[in-house]
Amino acid sequence: GLAVLVVGWGFLSASSARGAGTGTFAVQGVGSDVFDRLADDYRFGLGFNFLGSYEISRVWDLRGDFGVRFLEGEQVSQTRELQAPDLGARYGERTDGLRVMPITVDVVRRMEEWSRNRFWVPYAGAGLGFYDIQARYLPEDPEAGVGMPDEDLVRKDNIFKFGWNAKVGVNLHRTSGLFVNLESGLHMIDTRRRWTPMYDVSLGVGTILPRR
């Protein structure tokens, strides 16, 4: 499944050479909530995103998306086992940070009729993909790790899981090739014991990659 997504994303990026697609790179500010029913969550962070988009009709695109997000933890102690987000958090640990790498392929509907072909273009889409997630945990007592090397103080836990997403957003294009993107999405990730939702909103500045 992953190989199909990677090959598909490569095809989408390369398709810009034939004039039917576009590749972009963006830097984002991201706010994400990975806990739907628990007291603590992850908040804000920095993201990077590569995207390849291929026009399959006048208003529909096939979009390959590869990104990485580095999110801050709440630094709140876990109140029960297997919280953050079903990655194996232990009772009493503090959440320190989260890295999320989504690899998705989406079908996107461009709503250019809403903007009447002006510089802003709203869109909505949905798709499937895989999520590489790494959570970082610290001891409950902040003084417990004094004098310890970082590799002994921080505990990491990883998952690589299938998921699906739905998103809405708007692109504001400039004649220079730069653009501003605002996007909000819901990601449902098949974690160890349940489907974990991740809600996020991102604001990014990017550039259209040159065509070969």
* Contact in structure between 133 and 95 (CB atoms under 8 Å): no
Q: Which whole number is the average pLDDT over 78-92?
A: 60
* Domain extent at residue 91: 2-208
* CATH number of the domain bearing residue 152: 2.40.160.20
Structural domain tally of the chain?
Answer: 1
pLDDT band at 35 (very low <50, low <70, confident <90, very high): low
Which of 167, 14, 26 is closest to 104 using CA atoms?
167
Task: Convert the pLDDT of each residue in 132-145 to its tens digit.
Answer: 988 888 877 656 55
Cα→Cα distances 111→46, 96, 172, 201, 204, Å: 28, 39, 13, 20, 20
Q: Which residue has the higher pLDDT, 30 or 21?
A: 30
pLDDT tier, 64 (very low <50, low <70, confident <90, very high otherwise): very high
